[in-house]
Amino acid sequence: MFTSLRARHASGHLSADSSVPDEEIGERELPDCFFHSTRARLEDGGSPLGCCLFSGVRSWKKRIARFKNNVHCGVYPASLSSLWATIGALAGVHFSGKVAVPYDIVERVVELLPGRTNTWQVVACTVTGLSVWLTCTYTLRYTLKMLFMYQGWMYESRGAGSKVSKATLLWLGSVKLLTMGRQPMLYSYQGSLPRLPLPSVKDTMDRYLLSVRPLLDDKQFERMEGLAEEFQRGISKKLQRYLVLKSWWSSNYVSDWWEEFVYLRGRSALMVNSNFYGIDAILLHPTTNQAARAAVIIHSCLLFRRLIERQELEPILVQNLVPLCSWQYERVFNTTRLPGIETDRISHLSDSTHIAVFNKGRYYRVPIYWKGRILKPCEIEIQMQRILDDQSEPAKGELHLASLTAGQRKNWALARHNFFGKGINRTSLDAIEKAAFVVCLDDVEYNFDPNDPNKLDQYGRTLLHGKGYDRWFDKSFTLCIGTNGRVGFNSEHSWADAAVMSHLWEFVLSEDVETNWYKEDGHTIGTPEFEPPTPTRLQWDMPPAALKEIEAAFVASQDLLSDVDLRIYVHDHYGKGFMKKCRVSPDAFIQMALQLAYYRDAGKFSLTYEASMTRLYREGRTETVRPCTIESSAWVKSMVENKLPREEKIKLLLTACQRHQKGYQDAMCGKGIDRHLFCLYVVSKYLEVDSPFLKEVLSEPWRLSTSQTPHGQTSRLDLKKHPQCISAGGGFGPVADDGYGVSYIIAGEDLIFFHISSKKSSHETESNRFAKQIERSLADIRDLFEKK
């Protein structure tokens, strides 16, 4: 039932013991440049004692830094300096004797202490100052939290000549007043973010019925109204009471259930169904050297990780004022989804000092630190080149090993328990799962040619599923580097949403252009300060039964990926610039084009999914926007029937866009439909009560699933200076067997990328055909505004 909510759901929870055995990786015949894993680790830190000391010192330094940062974030918008100032001021007033401390607070505290010596009076001033400061600090924090609950700013008109309401102006000034003077850290706002509001059942029912009206005929709609009314008058009251309690005691009444039931409990394959991908800035090509580009991208990822660890990454602020929740950044690195029989679990480590690299069927453990610092790109390039130069063959079963992570979760959980629970297999598997992330040095080129769209399509397929065995689909993300130096990533979905990976990717690409990392010959700049730690080849001992499981997973992965029909359409006729001239939200503009394209393609309207974020609230993830509305269907019919004058069509389009924008704003503000219904359904399952209404609603297929890839999340990248340094976005697999998955990124004033996926086995869909319908729809909308 849950799998019908969204296509990309898969999961597993490991039942096997996760302790690391004492066995060390065995020696293997390798070229002279490769050494035993123990020796590689000792070279990274020196002698055995030095290795232990380095690891321990680094761990404690990180703990102290994390504690310090947590204190700073915990008192925001106040500062620790204000604490010392408060204590000093109280002590000065108290000891001067010229001015009495209000209410004689210090004297009253002194009376409770053993004596009246200067030492005890200083203690009294300290206790009093701390109490006053804590009171003021938490008053500020809760005032800020109350201000962030205000949603009126979201609905303010932003058109030319519009005026901001007095309430919003007052709110604006208050927030700026409370947050001025201190630079926030990544998690500074977490304690001030409000909880996701729980809508009433009546409001959700009203919104739901309004959203399905264009999809149902009169008889079907009358039946649905009856089911909704029966549910609202009956069991919904009991279910809602449980949700009210959960909304009080939990940080977010949706997110934990969404992660567990939509992702981790899904038993289908992660590849195509759940994982998503991201593409390079294809208009740039800084180097064709695979090892050099890999080194720079790896180094940039590690810099981003350090910013997260130190909480120095700037929190994202909407309108440069309202913060988004930063909770999901905690699991970008050092994170793996572990398979289980009935449910998966997410394993996150506080630190990892190595990455795992895959090349030509072989896995390597690669240290990324030396004497407490991150390796330089020129040093990492040497490591990558050593791997590329290795001529050894994969061990038996090693080539297709990652197919296990691509297939059914239960099968992988059983195989992991039976064949990877001890010995060198366990040690090698730990090296992958406990890595900061995985890197795949592919043996194919990633190409983009404006005159040959098939090359970009193949680029996308390579990142989405690869060969079915060359991506570790369980890892939070896998960096993929082609032989010609182009890059991309494949990301697991349960730990975070695409916007977080987009932020990392934007940072990585900006680092590529803001810092001149490459020489004229394509190699990285700089001179290594030492001989970099040597990559260590991981060892495997696969019994015949394990080889059989790996081969079965490989065959299943080939069946799955061969059914993917992916088309990446580059729309360069116009972009955001023209949409703004039409005074229409770019997202609403594109969603209307998609509605028109789908109606022309399928001959009917369909339930449409658009992902919106709820990160204005603590631990918020996503909410569903339903772009197929009464207003959008009226405009689509006017375009298809072509009976109304141009002015009337424009009016209908503007009305539909305004309605869509309102639905998007409602979703961001916790007034969506689907997450509330989802949680009501979960409660009904816990209570073992049946609801025909919820069962029908949550089994409705999303035949058109869409998502916009955000950009502009980092202030480091100046797009005016580097207009071509923008990713081509990314995509995901189709949600329904007979539907489309469409991801798009508005890449500039005159450029939009559409990533369109479907299944070849479906007779209802064809990605290339749908791309042409999108192109036609966008052209028709332009003609509406330009032709007189």
Residues with a catalytic annotation lie at 493
Q: How many angstroms separate the CA atoms of 315 and 616, rounded? A: 12
Q: State the DSSP string of 687-713.
A: TT---HHHHHHTT---SEEEEEPP---
Nearest Cα residue to 40 out of 386, 541, 296, 392? 386
Q: How many angstroms separate the CA atoms of 121 and 101, rounded? A: 13
The b-or-e profile of 451-490 (16+ CB within 10 A means b, else e) is eebeebbbbbbbbbbbbbbbbbbbbbbbbbbbebbbbbbb
Contact (CB, 8 A) for 335 and 478: no
Nearest Cα residue to 92 out of 80, 113, 78, 106? 106
Where does residue 504 rank: exposed (0-12), middle (13-18), buried (19+ CB within 10 A)? buried
Radius of gyration of the chain (CA): 28
Where does residue 761 rank: exposed (0-12), middle (13-18), buried (19+ CB within 10 A)? exposed
Q: How many angstroms separate the CA atoms of 586 and 72, rounded? A: 39
Going from the C-alpha of 773 to that of each of 281, 598, 705, 754, 779, the distances in angstroms are 26, 8, 16, 12, 10
Q: What is the DSSP letter of 475?
A: B
368's tokens: 């990324």
Contact (CB, 8 A) for 618 and 327: yes
Q: State the DSSP string of 584-627.
A: --HHHHHHHHHHHHHHHHHSS---EEEEEE-TTSTT--EEEE--
Looking at residue 687, its amino acid is: L
